[in-house]
Every structure is written in C-alpha cells, then in structure tokens.
C-alpha cells in the first residue's frame, strides 16, 4: 500500500481538545482553580453569617444589646400612642354625644341699673364711692343648671383706678331662668389726680361718664345629675352713665363673656 502524503509535508492537524486547552488563559491568582475531587459551593452574601474577631466581640455584644433596647422602646412608644389615640377617640365621641343631647348654650349677662354715691368732685380729699348695681343673668339651657359658688368678685374701674368692689351672692340658677341680683359695691380711700377729677366733671357735664365693670365668678355646671368641676366665669361690661348720683341712668352698655375651664 502506498503511504498517504500530506500536502507540503505539513504536520498533521492537532487534536481540537488540545488546541482549546492551549488557548485558555492562565488561572487568576484571586480565583484559584479547585483541586481535583473538590467542590465549589456558591452561597449568596446575605446568607453568610460571620463571627466577629475576638477584638470586636465586646463592641458587637454592645451594639446587639443597644439594638434590642431600641426595639423594646419602639414597641412601648407604639403601645402608648395607640392607647392615647383610643382614649382621645373615646373622649371625643362622649363629648359629641353630650353636646348633641344637652345642646349647651352660653349664659348671658347685662347691667340693668346703677346708683352712684360718694363722689365729691370739688374736693381733693380721698373718695369713698358706692355703686349699687343690678346685674341680669340669663340661663337659656333646657337641661343645664348653674351653681354660683363662693369666691366671686365684682369691681368697678374708672380708667385704671379700682373704685369699689363686692361679690355675687351664692345661689343656684335652674334651667331656663333669668335672675336679677343686686350688688352693693363699696370703696374707701380712693385718691384721684386733679386731672382725673376734672375729666369726671367734664364727662358728667356732657352726660356721659364711662366706667368698666369686671365680674369673676366660680361656677359649677349641673348636667343632668352630674356636677362639673369649678369653672370661672369672666364678664367685662363697659357702661356709661349720665351722672354721678343715685338717680343716674345708663346711657350705653356693652358686655363680653368668657370662661376659664381650669
């Protein structure tokens, strides 16, 4: 048999597997090639649990304890806020029910008459003014009564000078009631400047002498069979009279009402 002759006496082609292995890049030193008979297992980073080195063990324990404390504090805050929210909701619902059932209305106050004594505008000696005042109190509520307690005060001012004072009587005002009560307010040793005396004389000659009445009264509200805590009623009235005598008449009046709940 004749031998097979390769063209150009070139060497026979190398094996494909041998060629592919000769072209592979050398292994990277960062990723060593596993030894024969071993396995490479790939695990996600978030599933790897590391043990801190001994020098960081104390710091790791401290941080772990602080995180646990923060978790407990956060749960306590959430429980507290939830409880407060429930209580506030319950209070709001109860207040709404009470409001729509009792339909509370604010009482009204006005000054009905004023009799004045003790003003001598021609003398510079101290004054002892007296005001006999009738105040009208109206309770328009159908299901709410008002207890007027001890400790009230009623004062009359001319500009910033406290002229006289007194108090309301202690009484209970029932529902849908109008009460007219008299108060005798007295002052002593009141010294007015010459300017104030001249101003009073001029205002009296014009038939318009302004005063301010300030009333403060502690009250308790009766709602059904329940009596509330003590509330302070505040009434301020600007009144103008025609003269400084027992026969004086009210020319104008304007009263404002407010309360202090605590």
The whole-number pLDDT of residue 22 equals 43
pLDDT digits (tens, 9 = 90+) for 44-59: 766 665 555 655 656 6
pLDDT digits (tens, 9 = 90+) for 53-104: 655 656 656 656 665 566 667 778 888 888 899 999 988 888 787 777 777 8
Q: Is the pLDDT of residue 1 over 90?
A: no
pTM over 0.95: no
26: confidence class by pLDDT, cuts 50, 70, 90:
low
| Domain extents in the chain | 108-260
- SS3 assignment for the chain: CCCCCCHHHCCCCCCHHHHHHHHCCCCCCCCCCCCCCCCCCCCCHHHCCCCCCHHHHHHHHHHHHHHHHHHHHHHHHHHHHHHHHHHHHHHHHHHHHHHHHHCCCCCEEEEEEEEEECCCCCCCCCECCEEEEEEEEEECCCCEEEEECCCCEEEEEECCEEEEEECCCCEEECCCEEEEEEEEEECCCECCCHHHHHHHHHHHHHCCEEEEEEEEEEEEEEECCEEEEEEEEEEEEEEEECCCCCCCCEEEEEEEEEEECC
Contact of 104 with 141, CB cutoff 8 Å: yes
pLDDT digits (tens, 9 = 90+) for 137-153: 999 999 999 999 999 99
Q: Is the pLDDT of residue 230 over 60?
A: yes
42: confidence class by pLDDT, cuts 50, 70, 90:
confident
The whole-number pLDDT of residue 170 equals 94
Q: Is the pLDDT of residue 221 over 80?
A: yes
The whole-number pLDDT of residue 75 equals 79
Residue that the structure tokens 């407010």 belong to: 258
The whole-number pLDDT of residue 15 equals 47
Q: Is the pLDDT of residue 235 over 70?
A: yes
Q: What is the mean pLDDT of residues 107-130?
A: 93
pLDDT digits (tens, 9 = 90+) for 2-17: 444 444 445 545 444 4
pLDDT digits (tens, 9 = 90+) for 167-210: 999 999 999 999 998 999 999 999 999 999 999 999 999 999 99
CATH number 2.60.40 given to 108-260:
yes
Mean predicted lDDT score pLDDT of the chain: 82
155: confidence class by pLDDT, cuts 50, 70, 90:
very high
């Amino acid at each position: 048999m004749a031998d097979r002759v390769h063209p150009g006496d070139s060497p026979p082609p190398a094996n494909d597997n041998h060629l592919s292995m000769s072209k592979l890049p050398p292994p990277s030193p960062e990723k060593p090639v596993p030894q024969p008979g071993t396995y490479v297992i790939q695990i996600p980073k978030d599933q790897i649990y590391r043990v801190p080195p001994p020098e960081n063990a104390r710091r790791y324990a401290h941080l772990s304890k602080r995180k646990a404390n923060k978790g407990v504090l956060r749960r306590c805050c959430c429980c507290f806020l939830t409880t407060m929210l429930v209580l506030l909701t319950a209070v709001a619902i109860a207040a709404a029910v009470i409001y729509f059932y009792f339909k509370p209305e604010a009482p009204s106050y006005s000054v009905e008459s004023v009799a004045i004594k003790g003003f001598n505008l021609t003398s510079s000696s101290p004054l002892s003014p007296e005001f006999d005042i009738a105040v009208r109190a109206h309770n328009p509520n159908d299901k709410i009564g008002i207890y007027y307690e001890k400790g009230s005060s009623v004062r009359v001012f001319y500009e910033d000078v406290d002229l006289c004072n007194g108090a309301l009587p202690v009484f209970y005002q029932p529902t849908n009631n109008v009460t007219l009560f008299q108060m005798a307010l007295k002052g002593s040793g009141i010294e007015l400047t010459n300017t104030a005396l001249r101003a009073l004389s001029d205002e009296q000659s014009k038939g318009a002498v302004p005063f301010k009445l300030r009333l403060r009264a502690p009250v308790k509200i009766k709602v059904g069979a329940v009596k509330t805590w003590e509330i302070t009623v505040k009434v301020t009235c600007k009144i103008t009279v025609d003269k400084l005598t027992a026969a004086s008449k009210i020319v104008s009046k304007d009263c404002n009402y407010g309360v202090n709940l605590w």
